[in-house]
Amino acid sequence: MAKIKNIKGRQVFDSRGNPTVEAEIFLDDGLHASSIVPSGASTGTYEAFELRDKENKNYLGKSVFKAIDNINVLIAKSLKNTDINDQTKIDKILIELDGTEQKKKLGANAILAVSMASCKLAAIKKNVSLFKHLGNSKSNQLPIPLLNIINGGVHAKNNLDIQEFMIRPDKAKSFSEAMRMSFLVIQNLKSILDNTNVGDEGGFAPNLQNNEEAIKIIIKSIEMSGFKAGEDISICLDVAANELDKPKTIEYYTNLVKKFPIKSIEDPFTEDDWDSWRQLTKNTNIQIVGDDLFATNIKRLEKGIKNKSSNAILVKLNQIGTVSETLKVIKMAHDNGLKTIISHRSGDTEDTFIADLAVATNSSQIKTGSLARSERVAKYNRLLRIEEELGNSSKIAKF
Ligand code: PGA
Ligand code: ZN
């Protein structure tokens, strides 16, 4: 048994330059590992609580010193001498120590940093890669990436109200091939845009006439790259409807899907509009993805499965706050035929935990931004290394 000796929290910064939580865990034998939590901008009401020092104006109310203090004192004391290999026990202790539904006492940011760091340390102790530690002998499938190549909504200061315009290289035969295809489309898109400033997730953030113009430009870039839109590479949207000033209708989406090679729509409606979700999922045969709707929360997912609200779920560790709870949500989704898309946050970091999580859980897709900004690219680079490690046994998800 390898026992936890100490845990240290520290404040570091995320990709938007905002403070965030890092936790570092040390074992008796001197081994250690750390993890950093990301932070969203279009956050849902049902997400676990992110603890920030609202009254402390030194960081405009955004510092996380209380969360850090919770790690250094309460969490460190409660987990001292716990077996690093027993993730279920570690997460149970964290959940019970907090004791609230949305992890409001300790902060989900404090809890998740410790939960992820303990997984990494257990993998180091076993001397195996994180994806192997988290997964099983069948964890050899790379996810298809969804690359957010035009940013709008609250992730960019432009006039597009749809938050994410993504490409998904469906016909790629390997992960590296998926990245090559995406690279070409992004370079061609860059060559036809006047303004190549990027948004929070590394996608371009041009001012365009409307959402349809963004879709048309992406189709043009796919064709310029020698691919067929809708076959080799499809278009996926994240509307992030919670943030919309003017809601969109079921007809808007069914028409859009008829007109363009769109194969996936995330958060088309707000997080409590269960009826519209159900109707759209019934009326279309494309992927409908619940992000804010489910908030990686097993109770909300259960409701969504009963209601037939969607056929896929976006999975974000910090929406729920521990690795064990995240794994349970993924299992429930798969057991009920829903696809899982492991996701970054718009404020992310150099931590590549989600790349390993996607492979470990056989998730068919990963969403982690464009091929720009190192916090996004780091996840793709990690997946390339995993593909190399798996060698001949590696495959890529198929649709
Ligand atoms: P967020 O955006 O991290 O700002 O919530 C990502 C998403 O909506 O999928
Ligand atoms: Zn989303």
Return phi, psi of residue 2, to 5°.
-105, 115
398 classed as catalytic: no
C-alpha 86/C-alpha 78 separation (Å) is 14
Q: Say if ligand 1 is within 6 A of residue 15 CB.
A: no
Q: Which amino acid is at 295?
A: A
Q: How many CA atoms lie within 13 A of 95 on its CB side?
A: 15
pLDDT at 76: 98
Q: What is the pLDDT of residues 58-97, one digit of tens each?
A: 999 999 999 999 999 999 999 999 999 999 999 999 999 9
Name the catalytic one among 263, 316, 339, 379: 316
129 C-beta closer than 6 A to ligand 1: no
Other CB atoms within a 10 A radius of the CB of residue 255 amount to 11
Report, at the CATH architecture level, how domain 134-396 is classified: Alpha-Beta Barrel (3.20)
113 close to 107: Cβ distance less than 8 angstroms = no
Q: Is position 316 annotated as part of the catalytic site?
A: yes
Taking the domains of the chain in order of start, what are their residue ranges? 4-127, 134-396
Question: Residue 5 — φ and ψ, nearest 5°?
Answer: -95, -45
User: Ligand 1 centroid vs 191 CA: distance in angstroms?
Assistant: 27
Angle at 20 between CA 19 and CA 26, to 5 degrees: 135
Mutate to test the pocket of ligand 1, among 200, 237, 316 (most ligand atoms within 8 A of CB): 316
Q: Indicate the class that CATH gives domain 4-127.
A: alpha beta
CA torsion, ordered 255, 259, 264, 266, to nearest 10 deg? -50
Q: What residue type is assigned to position 124 of the chain? A: I
**What is the number of the ligand 1 atom nearest to the C-alpha of 344?**
3
| Alpha helix (H) residue ranges in 127-226 | 130-134, 175-192, 211-224
Which ligand ends up closest to the CA of 367? 1
Is the predicted pLDDT of residue 116 greater than 90, yes or no? Answer: yes
CB 49 within 8 A of CB 67: no
Stretch 184-204: mean pLDDT: 97
pTM of model > 0.85: yes
Question: Amino acid identity of 283?
Answer: N
Tell me which of 165, 264, 343, 354 to substitute to probe ligand 1's pocket, judged by most ligand atoms within 8 Å of the beta carbon: 343
pLDDT digit string, tens, across residues 284-314? 999 999 999 999 999 999 999 999 999 999 9
Q: Is 238 in the pocket of ligand 1 (CB under 6 A)?
A: yes
Instruction: Please name which of 358, 344, 396, 351 lies closest in space to residue 378, comparing C-alpha atoms.
Output: 351
Q: Which two tokens stand for residue 28?
A: 């008796």
Beta carbon of 291 within 6 Å of any ligand 1 atom: yes
